[in-house]
Amino acid sequence: MATVATTAPSAQRGLPKWVKSPTFARILFPFVVLGIWYFIYYTLDSRIFPSPQQVAVFMWEEITLTSGVRYSSVAENIYVQFGITLMRLTVGFFIALVLGTIIGLAMGISKKVDAFFHDWVMAVLAMPALVYALFLGLALGFTSRGPILAVVIAGTPFVIINIREGVRNTPRELIDMARSFEVPQNKVTRHVLLPSLMPFFFAAIRYAYAVGWKGLVITEVFASDRGMGWTIKFWYDAHRAHGVIGYAIFFIIFALALEKLVFDPLANRAFKWRPRIDAVGLAEGDMTAVASEAVLLLENQEVEQGVDTTVAKGGNF
Amino acid sequence: MAEIKVEGLSKEFGVGEDRVVALENVNLDVKGHVFVSLVGPSGCGKSTLLNILSGIENPSSGKVTITQDNREAEPGYVFQAARLLPWRSVMDNLLFVQKDRSEETRARCQKYLEMVQLGDKVDKYPGELSGGMQQRVGIARAFSIEPDVLFMDEPFSHLDAITARSLRRELHDMWRQTRKTVLFVTHDVGEAVELSNRILVFAKGGKLEDDLQIDLPFPRDPAEEEVAVAKAQVLRKFEELDLIAS
């Protein structure tokens, strides 16, 4: 007689359901980080390494503009510095988006244009931010132009690669369908091509934004006399780890807030048509599956070329 | 009355050693309210012929004319996969292929969605529907433009047997109500016998080998003896033409 192996009920019980939920895991992460921080603080016994409370008090004074020490040596407060950095990020980000979209579209459509740009896009992708940060400082001086250009240099290749893959993965079968029904080209562009590019465009936005930040802060450290990067450098020079860590956390919280309050709702709105099931198992012709395949394809390609595989995650929305 | 006329049609892919003949000197005349099935083994050019007729592909040589009362006929197409826009609702998928979005057009789309029993699913996205429902939307989309001729490329081959059977019945009812000229590609001889007045048999290399008439009344039940006999006769014809792989 055939027997079926089953899991014992006692093994299934274990932890309560809410403990096993992804939400709990997400909430747990900062507490784990805080625990590790305390552990290091007490084991290191360093006069330089601050405790979480010390950083919190320091940042509270910064945010409420009540720091006595700070304003004797730094001309602008946290909001002004952050505003400068945000302005630089926004301008650079939009330039990267426009430039990357134009080049990415051209590379996706034309093999010649792709051949022309391909190696250089990969070269810029592989270039350490420090190299262009130093160069921009030397070339453009301590103005806003350097940091803005740093965002453009960091972000554009990510936009290019994502948009190029989006164009290469246009759903041929849907275009043929439209053609057989004699749908005009402008309608095909609006209802087929642009929506099929959206997952790749959103991936481009997210990655360009994330790497733009990194390039910008490094450039502000070396090639600017204002902005958040420069402020972090200021506290580094002053041997005040409170400032370095505190400002870094301020950054992280802002980036997370932007992700949750702007990017996530935008993506949810743009992709509300996606069923809440495993994307890979969807029917033929579904762009989710196409986009996932594109990502795998791209990752394989990047691995072969020895480039960072975190470049494009076109289907991960 | 719609008429599909194909004269000396050939289609080749590739050049030199890679050259593949998909269709070779095909001649065909289909007229009026008929349901014509194109059957044959995989790679015999059935789908290529349909793609050329619907304008997706161009022929290498030969001539195709599709007319309706001396004007150019309007074709509708049902594909193997439903080919719906996943980011548009069911109703918007139908409206996408229409010339306008007027109330009259919407009402027409609604009518055909109701004919395929999806009148209450107009606001759903394709991803929220089963494979059978998606194919129903594909059928409603093709009928909704009220075409003169309908091309169908193995529309039920992706579906399970029970869903395919109920969809075949719905399609046949719609065909009889709307009196369209239908060209239906299938590799399933039983399906062809159940649905068609006429079966065109294609062989490898894209040759039209035979043109069979199935003179049985509709609707046909595959379990009926006459239909089973007709199917056996068509299969025998396949054997005579050496189309069944041993």
> In chain A, where are the structural domains located?
78-271
Could you list the residue range(s) of the whole structural domain that residue B221 is in? 1-74+181-246
Q: Please indicate whether, in this complex, the C-beta atoms of A191 and B77 are within 8 angstroms of each other.
A: no
At residue A46, the pLDDT reads 74
Residue A15's pLDDT band, with cuts at 50, 70 and 90, is confident
Cβ contacts of B198 within 8 Å, gap of 6 or more: B30, B34, B35, B36, B37, B211, B212, B213, B214
At residue A298, the pLDDT reads 43
Residues above pLDDT 70, as percent of chain B: 98
Asked whether residue B115 is assigned to any structural domain, the reply reads no
> What would the mean pLDDT of B92-120 be, rounded to a whole number?
94
For residue A301, count other CB atoms closer than 10 A to its CB.
15
Rounded CA-CA distance A105/B49 in Å is: 33
The distance of B127 to chain A (nearest Cα, Å) reads: 6
The distance of A295 to chain B (nearest Cα, Å) reads: 19
Q: Please indicate whether, in this complex, the C-beta atoms of A180 and B84 are within 8 angstroms of each other.
A: no
B123: nearest CA in chain A?
A273
Rounded CA-CA distance A155/A173 in Å is: 32
A192: nearest CA in chain B?
B85
* DSSP at A50: P
Asked whether residue B158 is assigned to any structural domain, the reply reads no
How many domains are there within chain B? 1
Q: Please indicate whether, in this complex, the C-beta atoms of A174 and B83 are within 8 angstroms of each other.
A: yes
A254, with CB counted inside 10 A (0-12, 13-18, 19+), is middle
At residue B28, the pLDDT reads 92
Judged by DSSP in three states, A5 sits in coil
Rounded CA-CA distance B1/A296 in Å is: 51
**For A191, which of B81, B85, B151 is closest by C-beta distance?**
B85
Give the pairing of strands B2-13 and B61-68.
antiparallel
Rounded CA-CA distance B202/B211 in Å is: 9
Rounded CA-CA distance A206/A310 in Å is: 12
Measured between beta carbons, which residues in chain B are less than 8 angstroms from residue A288? Answer: 86, 127
Residue identified by tokens 């747990």 is: A28
A282, pLDDT greater than 70 = no
At residue B111, the pLDDT reads 93
At residue A278, the pLDDT reads 38
Q: Which residue has the higher pLDDT, A280 or B58?
A: B58
**For A275, which of B79, B83, B128 is closest by C-beta distance?**
B128
CB contact at 8 A, B215 and B225:
no
Peptide bond between residue A171 and the one before it cis (omega within 30 degrees of 0):
no
Q: First-to-last CA distance in chain B?
A: 42
| Backbone φ and ψ of B56, nearest 5° | -75, -35
Rounded CA-CA distance A160/A302 in Å is: 14
Asked whether residue B171 is assigned to any structural domain, the reply reads no
- Topology, domain A78-271: MetI-like fold (1.10.3720)
At residue A175, the pLDDT reads 92
Asked whether residue B21 is assigned to any structural domain, the reply reads yes
Q: Please indicate whether, in this complex, the C-beta atoms of B85 and A181 are within 8 angstroms of each other.
A: no
* DSSP at A259: I
Asked whether residue B17 is assigned to any structural domain, the reply reads yes
Rounded CA-CA distance A234/A48 in Å is: 15
Range with the lowest mean pLDDT among A5-9, A38-42, A226-230? A5-9
At residue A300, the pLDDT reads 44
Rounded CA-CA distance B41/B138 in Å is: 25
CA angle B241, B245, B246 (to 5 degrees): 110
Asked whether residue B113 is assigned to any structural domain, the reply reads no
CATH of the domain at B201: 3.40.50.300
Peptide bond between residue B219 and the one before it cis (omega within 30 degrees of 0):
yes
* DSSP at B74: P
**For A183, which of B75, B97, B127 is closest by C-beta distance?**
B97
Instruction: Give the CA radius of gyration of chain B.
Output: 18
* DSSP at A8: -
> For testing the chain B interface, which of A181, A190, A191, A198 should be mutated: the one with the most B CBs within 10 Å?
A181
- Give me chain A's average pLDDT, please: 80
